[in-house]
Every structure is written in C-alpha cells, then in structure tokens.
Structure 1
C-alpha cells in the first residue's frame, strides 16, 4: 500500500520567535500565537531548524498549528508518495481561503498558468495566484499541464484529487468554462496579464528583491556604451534649428497641446524639407551631453541627456527614419546619429525588408497611402537591462510613450502632421538593420509628414 507524506518548511525569510508561556511570533507576518502546547512549541522549534515531515495522519494539536502557519503564508507544503516528492506549494503571501477538501469536483487548468524552468526547479506560476507550485514528478507535470489521462492514471486517485484541490486552491485550476464566461478574464491575454503583474510592484516584488534598478549585471558584465556603434552607410548632415529663435517665436505649449491631433492624410506635392526633418529630430532626439560615472572602470557608465526623460538617464532608444518623400534627402532607411545630428544610410528604400517594415503603416493612413517619413523607434535593450530587473521592457515602452508625445507636440508646433502606430514588424526591422533582436529591437513607430490641407 502506498505511503503518503507531507512536509512543511518555513518560507525564505520566515522564522518563528519562541518565547515563554506558550507564546510565539511568526515573522515576517508579525502574527502572535498564544496558548501553544509543549508539542506545538516543539514543532515550531523543529521548523526553525529545517523541514518537518508527517507520515499519513497528524494529531489534532499539530494539525491546528499547521493550519495557522499555512493561513499566515509562512510555510511551503511538499506532498510525497513512497519517499518520492511529487509537488510543493511555495507561497509568497497569505492564501485568501482555507485549503479545500480534496473533492472539489471537475476542474480545468487556468489559461494564465505557465510552467517554466526556474533555477533547478520546474515551476507552475499564475499571475493572480498566491503560491507557485514546484513540480518534482513527471506524472504531476502531466496533470498540471492537462496532457491527458495517462498521467492521471500513473498516480493514485487520492493524489490526483488532492492535486486538483491544491491547483484549485492556488488558482492554477478553475471551474470548467469560468474564464471564458467572465469578461474580465476573457479580455486579458495571458502574456499581457503576466507582463502587467511581473513588471509592477506586488506580491512577488513587495521587498524589491531582484526587482527594479538592482544593477544585477554589475561585476559580471560591463555596461553598454551610450553611443551605438556607428552605421557605416552614407552620411547626411542635418541642419540644426536656432533654439534661441524657437524659444522666442515658437507656439505656446498650451496652444500646441490643444491643437495636437493624429494626422493620417499627407500632401505628397508639398513634402517635408531636410531642414524640417533636421529640426524635428534635433528638438526631439538629439544627445545634448553625456555624463560619465565611475570613469576608472574598464567600461565607464555613460548617462546621456536628451530632450525627453529616460529612467536612470540611460536613453536606450534609437530613431531610424524610413524616408520616401523628403526634399533634399534620397529615399532610404537611415539611422539618426543623435551625437553628430546626421543621418546614416542603413538600407535602400526598395530593400524587401524595408518594404515589409513600412507596409503596416499604410493600414492606418488615408486611402492606404505610404508614409512620407516613418520613424522606426528601436531600443538597445542592454543599456537598460544591465541596471533593471524584471521591469526593463516595461520601462522601455514608457520611454517610447514619452518620445512619441514629444514627437507629436513638436510636429504640431512645426505645422507638421504625425500619427503613432501601435505595432511594427520587428522581424523586418531586424533584417533591414542586421541587428540581433535580443540586442536592438523595434519597439515603436511614428509617421510624420506634411498634412493635406
């Protein structure tokens, strides 16, 4: 006959402070326990020393204490069978409800649950759960992923029922059809909910451990320089505007903000000039200066300054104008050198990858017209990923937002029209530039030109 075993272990950072008179305090929950029996105090001492295992039945006093510890979210629970570990519930906050009875009825795996490798563990995670599930046994993995009856049959019925109950308890399993019939869960895509929860402060990042500007790579990798390697193509110097004149004569901010609108119809008979393109890029994207930090290290940290804000002054964004119709500039895909205020040719306009890159833009413009200028915004992701953990891509997208608004307002002040786009062809960008998407990726698009009257 199979023998079951349940082990309890204090979660990382948890501890039981034991006093006299049957009193203890659970940390970090700061929960006081009174009236503990000598046997219960002994269990707490054993937990402070390491995992505590129970075979089959547990006496009522110990069971009551374990329920309290589980409800406080300070212990993990490992279920074993005949000496082999099956799975572990690893909480990171208090469970919202008591552990259910094994007979929960039919369930199905939530579409938001993912199974991934984390260190040496295989872990089932759910963005709205209070606990991860560490999978130790292949048969359990088959049940968790819903891969079929063969995996269920490989385990005793009571184990499957208990696993289903634990999956339901932790939110990794739901009543059949529940997520499809509720608008709130139906409307979220799994990757978007995961992205939202893992890039914001919450249960998993409450103490900012391994989250935020931790500079995790310092000491293992060198920071990326602020300036991108220079593109080898033809160089076109851009005219720079007179900032003193602009400060005197430019439209007031309130006028520009109120006049800003998305423009989707452009006048090819009256295209932008090279001077207008140069002014737009200068006012929005030039590198004004670079501050060096810790200059004595092998690769100093460089913190640029540009007209728009950037987290940590890292400025990972690059602008690639794809030009079809600008007076004074030959058609092509260029990189904007924000240091030299110049365009450097990346690829000819008729390059197949460039054509695929600009094709989606026509879907948002009047009568399917092609953009006069499409600014492909890219991120040198290592600039920001060297410093930030878990949240860097979210920060990159915020930077795209502030650069986009800067482009909108500046274009409006200049009498140009612009429209942001919510998507782009990242594969086409990679092919056109020759950039590895893990190094430099297309993260935004902005179309600009002369509006049709």
Structure 2
C-alpha cells in the first residue's frame, strides 16, 4: 500500500496524453505507443478509473472502499507510469511527478534524507514553476513550493521548513524518479557514469528519440516558427569594405584530372606541419572554397522560405554554416579575417590581422600544430543558428554539429585532391570569434575550425 503513504491531500490524475477506456470487469490504458490492459477489476476499482477520467482526485475522493482495495490499483498505475501525482500539504501544492516514460523501479523504496542529487539532475525554471529533470529519468518533477528547492540543496527538513514526513516522502520520490541515486557511490565510481558529463548526456538525450520524445510533436522539422517569425535569410548580411575577387576553378578540367575518390579517401591524413617557405596560394584558397562551400542555387520553398544548394549536404537544404578564413600566410591574400561570400565567391574583410580577437583565434591552434606553430590559414565554421532553429525543434544544434562533420570531411577530401594539408580542430575560441565577427553569439556562433596550408616536405 505504497500510495497510501502519500498525504491524503495528494492529487492523482492521468499522465498527459493518456486515455482510459473502461469495460465491464476491466479497462484499457492508451498512450501511444504504450498500452496496458487491466482485467478482473472489481466495482470499487472500476470506480477509481472512472473518477480519474473525470479529473484529478485525492485518495479519499477516488473511492469509499477500504484502502487495501484502492492502494494496489494506484500502485499498479503508478508503477506503469500512468499517473501524474501532485503531493500537497496544508492545502498547497508542493511538487508534481509528471511521467513521460515507464518507471524503472517500483514506487516507494525508502531513501535517506537529505538526498544527494545525481550529477545529471538539472533544476531550471520555466514560465510557471521550477522543474527538476534528469536525462536518465522517466519523469519530470515540477516544483511549486520553494521549500522543496531548499531541500534539494542538501538542507535537512528543519532548515528547509518541511515537516519530517514530507521530507521523507520527497526523498523517496527522488530515488524512485531517478533524480537521486539509491547508492550515490555507484554513480561516482562507475566508469559509465563518471565518463559522461552532465551537458553531454543532456545533449544526447534531448536531441534523440526516446522515452521523452516518441512522436514528431515538437521534435524535428516542425517549422514551429513559421507564421510567427520570418525565416532568417539564406544570405548573411554583407560585410562592408572592398571584396577580394577569387578565381573560379575549371570544374570540367578537375573532373578529368582529379585523383579518384578511392585515392583521396586512402591518402587523407591530418597534417600538423606546414611549409611556410611555400605557403598555400590565393588561387588554391579560391579553389578550395569554390569546391566545398560555394552557393550553387537558392530557390523558394513556400511563402517566405528559401532553400539552398552547396557541394556538401545539409538537413532540409537550410545551409546555416558560414566560412571565415583567417589568413596569416597565404600567398596573394593580405593577412586578416575574412568572410567567404559563397553567393558572389569573394572574400569580404571582417577584422584586422593584429586585432586581439583574431590573434586569440590563431593562438587557439597552437595545441594542434607541431611545435606550437601558427597556421597559414584557419577556416572558422560558424552557424547562423536561426536558419536551423526556425525549422527544427530539439535537434537543431545536434544537426548543426553533424553538418560541421560533413563539411570537415568535404574539405579534407578536396584539399587532399589538391595536395594541401588539413587538420580539423576539436575546439576553438567562441568568444573571440563573436567579438571579431561582430555578431551576437545567439544569432551566429563558431562551431568548428580547420587548419589548412601547404604540407611540410617529408
């Protein structure tokens, strides 16, 4: 009779999206893709289900039958993740368990107080309340009373102002819901849990299908912003200043003379030593950008929408990535940071070579190159995130990073075919980029970078 240990004021309701269809002696619970049949139910238990169908109800309101008839059914419903449970005290809501999956354990396992939250549990605020979430949990915990927040901070019941029985109740629920490990030492010692950081695991779970997300509602290419916000244009606003014209390579000739795909795949290597005596030339930079990043086409796709075509693939043909060549030593191109205008195939000046921000971008490459050398050319990849986020929900940033990987391989293969050296970076100075490019990081942010140049002779 675990549910009987909740305060009598506790309200029970069906989880969001759930439907209960009652028939004589049984019922069917539906919340696609999950379903469950209940058979052999007595009159009192059927009355509980019908009462829940009418709306949230307390334990005493569900049935006048003895608790040993009511509690087992509520326990079964709670164990199947069918119930939203709002714990109340002194006629006020304290917290609500909001399931979106199926519990991994039975409810009611006693826990020590105060609990120790999992390192993956995150408390944040939405428009209504505080919400406690965990990427490994089957539910969210919506917090309506600030004393619960104080209790989560590791304070004892007296310090948080909660009665002892309520403190014990929430401690038990934190373990059942997956917000606090039953054995904290296990989480701290297991390689599988120590190896994941909280943001990485959150990112993984939030950008994939799973218990939390089982339909396309608010997930994927929903175009949620259509009708409320204009789609960010395919073309970024042009930087002022005189553009540097770039040569256009002869693609027909390259089709005939390039090494085979098998050859460039096998010959591709990361290059960390470059030949500054014979640096990459401006024409080579022009060819590399043209082959990998130019805009081949812009086409309308419904009212107020633009789709793009470039040499590399992009989800939904949105193409949010921008290329920023940072030139230190390119024959025929003055030093400085440029934006590659993929529509006009020109370089537009962005920042001076000696600006502190550009120098920080170059210094961030020292750990990548042999003997801390400086790059001949650094290409910073930036995402105009709104291009993706206008169309995609939940998975926008994950998709951006997939595009970065696609671009990196595209540049690697084209550069290998051209006899150039490339080394992708696993990190970069995002703040330095935003300052150098003069952009709001929420609108455009650096998401990757590649070092390019003429490889040092073996």
TM-score, normalization by structure 2: 0.94
Name 2:48's counterpart in structure 1: 43
**Pairwise CA distance, 1:103:** 4.7
Q: Assess if the C-alpha contact under 8 Å between 1:304 and 1:314 holds in 2.
A: yes
* Structure 2 residue corresponding to 1:372, chosen from 371, 376, 380: 376
* Structure 2 residue corresponding to 1:83, chosen from 91, 110, 120: 91
| Partner secondary structure for residue 232 of structure 1 | coil
Name 1:239's counterpart in structure 2: 247
Distance of 1:25 and 1:3 partners within structure 2: 28
Distance of 1:3 and 1:384 partners within structure 2: 47
**Pairwise CA distance, 1:158:** 1.4
**CA-to-aligned-CA distance 1:330-363 (integer Å, 9 cap, x gap):** 0010000001110000011111111011111011
Q: Assess if the C-alpha contact under 8 Å between 1:373 and 1:448 holds in 2.
A: yes
Unaligned runs of 5+ in 1: none
**Pairwise CA distance, 1:73:** 1.1
Q: Assess if the C-alpha contact under 8 Å between 1:139 and 1:151 holds in 2.
A: no
Name 2:138's counterpart in structure 1: 130
Unaligned runs of 5+ in 2: 1-5
Q: Assess if the C-alpha contact under 8 Å between 1:374 and 1:447 holds in 2.
A: yes
Q: Assess if the C-alpha contact under 8 Å between 2:115 and 2:152 holds in 1.
A: no
* Structure 2 residue corresponding to 1:24, chosen from 19, 24, 27: 27
**Pairwise CA distance, 1:79:** 1.1
Name 2:425's counterpart in structure 1: 421
Size of the aligned set, in residue pairs, is 446
* Structure 2 residue corresponding to 1:110, chosen from 111, 115, 118: 118
Distance of 1:30 and 1:267 partners within structure 2: 65
Distance of 2:230 and 2:80 partners within structure 1: 42
Q: Assess if the C-alpha contact under 8 Å between 1:99 and 1:169 holds in 2.
A: yes
Distance of 1:308 and 1:116 partners within structure 2: 38
- Alignment of 1:347 with 2:351, yes or no, is yes
**Pairwise CA distance, 1:281:** 0.2
**Pairwise CA distance, 1:208:** 2.1
Distance of 1:75 and 1:364 partners within structure 2: 53
Distance of 1:308 and 1:344 partners within structure 2: 22
Could you tell which deviates more after superposition, 58-67 or 365-374?
58-67
Q: Assess if the C-alpha contact under 8 Å between 1:4 and 1:82 holds in 2.
A: no
- Alignment of 1:301 with 2:309, yes or no, is no
**CA-to-aligned-CA distance 1:409-446 (integer Å, 9 cap, x gap):** 11111000000001111110111111000111010000
**CA-to-aligned-CA distance 1:85-110 (integer Å, 9 cap, x gap):** 11111111111111134355774111
- Alignment of 1:171 with 2:178, yes or no, is yes
Distance of 2:324 and 2:37 partners within structure 1: 60
Q: 1:314-325 residue pairs with structure 2 within 5 A?
A: 314-325=318-329
Q: Assess if the C-alpha contact under 8 Å between 1:336 and 1:343 holds in 2.
A: yes
Distance of 1:236 and 1:306 partners within structure 2: 21
TM-score, normalization by structure 1: 0.95
- Alignment of 1:162 with 2:169, yes or no, is yes
CA RMSD after TM alignment = 1.7
Q: Assess if the C-alpha contact under 8 Å between 1:152 and 1:160 holds in 2.
A: no
